[in-house]
C-alpha cells in the first residue's frame, strides 16, 4: 500500500488545517452526486405511480434522454477518480471493504453520539467512519448492479430472456432503495447535522481542521497524517 | 358496466386472413415484405406493423392430421401484467373489458413486451441509443368499440369466425358451439379464455388442446411482476418512511442537546 501524503494545509482562523480530499476525489464525488441525483429524479418518474405524469409524453421523452445522459456521467465518475487519483482510489476502495471491531462499536454507539453528543464513546475511525464506509460500500456494490442491469435494459431489450429483463428491473429498484436510504442519511448528516459541518466543507475545499480530524477520524489522523509528517520532518533541512 | 369480448371460433376460420388486412387497413399499418419459409402462414410473427395475424398449426391426433388456424392478437386479460408494469399509464385496462394503449403516452420502456404471458406487444425501436421506441398491440379497435362499432377484423370476417359483443353473450355462444362440435364428434372441442388471467377479452372456441395452437395451457401472471409490485414498491415506501422518521427524531434531539461542531466547542 502506497503511503498517501496528507500534509498540513494552512490555517483557518486559529485552527490548523489538514488535507482530507484531493481535487480528483472531490471532482469524482460531485460528478457522482450530480449524476446520482439526476438519475434518481428521472427514475422516480417511472417508479412512483403518482409521478406518472412526468413519465409519458414529451416529459417522458426528455426524462428518458436525461436518464441516459446522467448514466454516462455516473459511469464516468469513478473513472475520473481512478485515472487522476489512483492511489487514493485504491486506498478508499480497500478501506470500504475493511471492517473490524471498531466498526461494530461505532455503529452501536452512533445513535447516542449523533443524538446526544456522547463524546468519547466512539472507537477511533480511519479516513472514513463506519457510516461513511457503509454508504461507500453500498454505493460501490450498487454501482455494479446499476451498471449491469441498466445496460441490460438499455441495450439488451428484446435480446435477453424476459425473466432476465424483468429481474434487471427489480435489481435496479432494490439497488435504488439501498442507496437512497443511505443517501438520505448521508445528506442529513452533512447538511443538517450540527456536529458534521466540516464534512461538507471538506468536500468543497479539501481540508478539515485538525480538531475535526482528531475527533472524527482519529486513526487516520494519527496513522496517516501525523506519521507522514514525522517521516518528512527534517530539522536539518535548509527549506 | 357489462363487459365486451371478441369470440374467435377456430372451427369456422378458413384462414383467409381478411382480419389481418382489415386491421392494417383501419390502423394504417404498412405492409411488410416477407419471405416464403415453407408455410402459408404470413407474416410469421407479430410486429409493430402487424397487430393481429392468423397462425397455421399442424396437429396430429389419433392418426389424423389437423390444420388449425388461430386468429392471434392481444388477449385483453383482466389481470393484465402489461398494465401493471406500464410506468406511464399508456396501457390501461378499460372497465368494459379490453386493454387500451395510448401511444402518445408510451415512453418505449418495453416492460410490457417482457411481462406479457402471451408475448403479444411489440416494440418499434427507433433508436437504441436514445431509447426512442413505441409499443404496439391490438387494442380491440379501442376507437371503434367505444363508439358502438365492432372491431375491424370482426366486421370483415367472411365465415363469421370472429364475433363481437357482450361477454356473457359471447360465452354462451362459445359454449353452445362447443356442445355442437362435440355432438359432431370433435371430442377435444373446448373454450379458452373464460377464466384464464381473470378472464380474457378475446375468447376462443378451440377444436384441439391450446398447446396445439401455440397457446399456453395455463397462462400465468409473471412471478417477477408480482415481486416488483409486492416487494420492491412497498419496501421502498417503508424504507424511506422509516428513514425520514428516524432522521426527524434525530434532528429534534440534536436541537435539544444543543450539539455543535467540534471546532466551536
Could you say which of A50, A71, A96 is where a domain stops?
A96
Q: Is residue A70 part of a domain?
A: yes
Contacts of A163 in chain B (CB under 8 A): 222, 224
Flag whether pLDDT at A76 surpasses 80.
yes
Q: Are residues A115 and A219 in the same domain?
A: yes
CA-closest candidate to residue A67, choices A49, A48, A43: A43
Residue A55, number of CB atoms within 10 A of its CB: 26
Q: What is the pLDDT of residue A4?
A: 45
- A239 in a domain, yes or no? no
Query: What pLDDT is stored for residue A118 in this prediction?
Result: 78
Residues spanned by the domain of A121: 103-197+204-229
Find the range with the poorest average confidence among A172-176, A226-230, B4-8, B115-119.
A226-230
Q: Is B6 on the interface with A (CB under 8 A)?
A: no
Q: Nearest by CB to A68, which of B115, B125, B131?
A: B131
A45: which 3 cell numbers?
418518474
Q: Do the domain assignments include residue A178?
A: yes
Q: Which of residues 186-245 of B touch A (CB under 8 A)?
A: 222, 224-225, 227-228, 231-233, 235-236, 239-240, 243-244
Where does residue B91 rank: exposed (0-12), middle (13-18), buried (19+ CB within 10 A)? buried
The shortest CB-CB distance from A184 to any of B106, B125, B247 is to: B247
Q: In terms of domains, do A61 and A132 share one? A: no
Q: Shortest Cα distance from B139 to chain A (angstroms)?
A: 19
Same domain, A216 and A133: yes
Mutating which of A61, A115, A185, A207 best tests the B interface, going by the most B Cβ atoms within 10 A?
A115
Per the model's pLDDT, the better-predicted residue between A201 and B57 turns out to be B57
Q: Which residues, numbered 76 to 135 in chain B, qualify as contacts with chain A under a Cβ-Cβ cut-off of 8 Å?
A: 85, 87-90, 102, 104-111, 113-115, 123, 125, 128-133
- The Cα B166–Cα B96 span in angstroms is 9
Q: How many domains are contained in chain A?
A: 2
- Binding-face residues of B in 32-61 toward A, CB within 8 A: none
A125 and A92 together in one domain: no
Confirm if B123 and B132 have CB atoms less than 8 A apart.
no
Q: Is residue A3 part of a domain?
A: no
Q: Examine the domain organization and report whether A71 and A119 are in the same domain.
A: no
Residues A162 and A219 in one domain: yes
pLDDT value at position A223?
A: 79
Residue A5 has a pLDDT of 46
Clarify whether residues A114 and A208 are in a common domain.
yes
Distance of CA B70 to the CA centre of its chain: 16
- Between CA B166 and CA B2 the distance in angstroms is 7
Shared domain for A91 and A122, answered yes or no, is: no
Last residue of a domain, one of A73, A96, A119: A96
For residue A86, the distance in angstroms to the closest alpha carbon of chain B comes to: 31
> Contact A57/B104, CB-based, under 8 Å?
yes
Low pLDDT (below 50) residues in chain B: 1, 263-265
> Is residue A6 assigned to a domain?
no
Q: CB within 8 A of B162, min separation 6: which ones? A: B6, B7, B8, B9, B19, B71, B151, B153, B154
CB of B19 within 8 A of CB of B184?
Answer: no
Name the closest residue on chain B to residue A64, using Cα atoms.
B131
Residues A135 and A179 in one domain: yes
Same domain, A209 and A121: yes
Band of pLDDT at residue A117, cut at 50, 70 and 90? confident
Cα–Cα distance measured from residue A200 to residue A189, given in angstroms and rounded to the nearest whole number: 9
Length of chain A: 239
| Binary contact (A184, B228; C-beta < 8 A) | no
Res B264: pLDDT: 47
Task: Answer whether B89 sits within 8 Å of A52, measured CB to CB.
Answer: yes
Task: Report the pLDDT value the prediction gives residue B263, as an integer from 0 to 100.
Answer: 45
What value does the mean pLDDT take over residues A225-230?
73
Is it the case that residue A197 has pLDDT exceeding 90?
Answer: no
A55 and A129 together in one domain: no
At A239 the pLDDT is 55
Phi, psi for A214 (deg, rounded to 5): -65, -40
Spans of all domains in chain B:
1-220, 223-264
- Within a domain: residue A111? yes
Pick the CATH number of B1-220 from 3.30.70.20, 3.30.450.40, 1.10.730.10, 3.10.129.10: 3.30.70.20
Secondary structure of chain B in HEC code, one letter for each residue: CCCEEEEEECCCCCCCCHHHHHHHHHHCCCCCCCCCCCCCCCCCCCECCECCEEEEEEEEECCEEEEEEEEECCCCECCCHHHHHCCCCCEEEECCCEEEECCCCCCCCCHHHHHCCCCCCEEEEEECCCCEEEEECCCCCHHHHCCCCCCHHHHHCCCCCEEEEEHHHHHHHHHHHHHHHHHCCCCCCEEECCCHHHCECEEEEECCCHHHHCCCCCCCCCHHHHHHHHHHHHHHHHHHHHHHHHHHHHHHHHHHCCCCCHHHC
In a domain, residue A236? The reply is: no
Last residue of a domain, one of A46, A62, A96: A96
Q: Residue A89's Cα: distance from chain center in Å?
A: 12
Q: Is the pLDDT of residue A12 over 80?
A: no
B216 vs A229, more confident: B216
Distances (CA, A) of A6 to A18, A24, A40: 7, 15, 34
* Structure confidence by residue, pLDDT tens digits, A26-63: 999 999 999 999 999 999 998 888 888 889 889 999 99
Q: What is the structure's pLDDT at A1?
A: 36
- Residue B262 to residue A195, Cβ atoms within 8 A: yes
Contact B214, B56 (CB under 8 A): no
Amino acid at each position: 500500500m502506497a503511503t498517501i501524503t496528507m500534509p498540513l494545509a494552512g490555517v483557518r482562523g486559529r485552527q490548523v488545517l489538514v488535507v482530507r480530499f484531493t481535487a480528483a476525489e472531490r471532482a469524482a464525488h460531485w460528478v457522482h452526486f450530480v449524476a446520482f441525483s439526476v438519475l434518481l429524479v428521472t427514475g422516480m418518474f417511472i417508479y412512483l405511480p403518482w409521478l406518472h405524469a412526468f413519465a409519458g409524453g414529451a416529459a417522458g421523452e426528455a426524462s428518458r434522454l436525461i436518464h441516459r445522459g446522467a448514466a454516462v456521467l455516473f459511469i464516468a465518475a469513478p473513472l475520473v477518480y481512478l485515472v487522476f487519483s489512483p492511489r487514493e482510489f485504491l486506498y478508499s476502495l480497500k478501506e470500504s471493504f475493511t471492517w473490524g471491531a471498531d466498526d461494530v462499536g461505532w455503529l452501536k454507539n452512533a445513535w447516542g453520539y449523533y443524538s446526544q453528543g456522547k463524546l468519547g464513546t466512539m472507537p477511533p475511525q480511519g479516513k472514513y467512519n463506519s457510516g461513511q464506509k457503509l454508504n461507500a460500500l453500498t454505493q460501490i456494490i450498487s454501482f455494479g448492479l446499476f451498471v449491469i442491469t441498466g445496460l441490460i435494459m438499455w441495450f439488451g431489450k428484446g435480446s435477453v430472456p424476459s425473466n432476465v429483463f424483468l429481474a434487471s428491473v427489480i435489481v435496479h429498484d432494490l439497488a435504488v432503495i439501498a442507496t437512497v436510504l443511505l443517501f438520505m442519511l448521508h445528506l442529513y448528516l452533512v447538511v443538517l447535522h450540527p456536529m458534521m459541518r466540516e464534512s461538507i466543507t471538506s468536500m468543497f475545499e479539501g481540508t478539515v481542521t485538525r480538531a475535526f480530524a482528531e475527533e472524527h477520524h482519529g486513526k487516520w489522523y494519527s496513522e496517516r497524517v501525523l506519521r507522514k509528517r514525522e517521516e518528512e520532518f527534517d530539522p536539518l533541512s535548509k527549506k | 358496466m357489462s363487459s365486451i369480448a371478441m369470440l374467435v371460433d377456430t372451427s369456422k376460420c378458413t384462414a383467409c386472413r381478411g382480419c389481418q388486412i382489415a386491421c392494417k387497413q383501419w390502423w394504417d399499418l404498412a405492409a411488410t415484405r416477407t419471405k416464403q419459409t415453407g408455410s402459408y402462414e404470413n407474416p410469421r410473427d407479430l410486429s409493430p406493423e402487424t397487430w393481429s395475424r392468423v397462425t397455421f398449426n399442424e396437429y396430429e391426433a389419433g392418426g389424423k392430421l389437423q390444420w388449425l388456424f388461430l386468429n392471434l392478437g392481444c388477449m385483453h386479460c383482466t389481470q393484465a401484467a402489461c398494465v401493471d408494469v406500464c410506468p406511464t399509464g399508456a396501457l390501461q385496462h378499460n372497465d368494459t373489458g379490453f386493454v387500451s394503449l395510448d401511444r402518445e403516452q408510451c415512453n418505449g420502456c418495453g416492460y410490457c413486451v417482457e411481462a406479457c404471458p402471451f408475448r403479444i406487444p411489440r416494440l418499434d425501436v427507433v433508436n437504441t441509443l436514445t431509447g426512442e421506441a413505441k409499443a404496439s398491440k391490438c387494442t380491440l379497435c379501442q376507437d371503434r368499440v367505444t363508439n358502438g362499432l365492432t372491431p375491424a377484423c370482426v366486421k370483415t370476417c367472411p365465415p363469421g369466425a370472429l364475433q363481437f359483443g357482450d361477454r356473457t353473450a359471447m360465452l354462451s355462444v362459445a359454449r353452445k358451439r362447443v356442445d355442437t362440435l362435440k355432438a359432431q364428434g370433435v371430442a377435444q372441442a373446448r373454450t379458452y379464455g373464460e377464466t384464464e388471467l381473470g378472464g380474457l377479452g378475446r375468447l376462443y372456441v378451440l377444436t384441439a388442446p391450446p398447446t396445439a395452437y401455440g397457446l399456453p395451457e395455463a397462462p400465468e401472471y409473471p412471478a417477477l411482476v408480482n415481486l416488483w409490485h409486492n416487494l420492491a414498491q412497498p419496501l421502498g415506501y417503508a424504507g424511506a418512511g422509516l428513514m425520514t422518521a428516524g432522521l426527524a427524531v434525530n434532528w429534534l434531539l440534536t436541537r435539544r442537546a444543543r450539539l455543535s461542531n467540534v471546532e466551536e466547542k
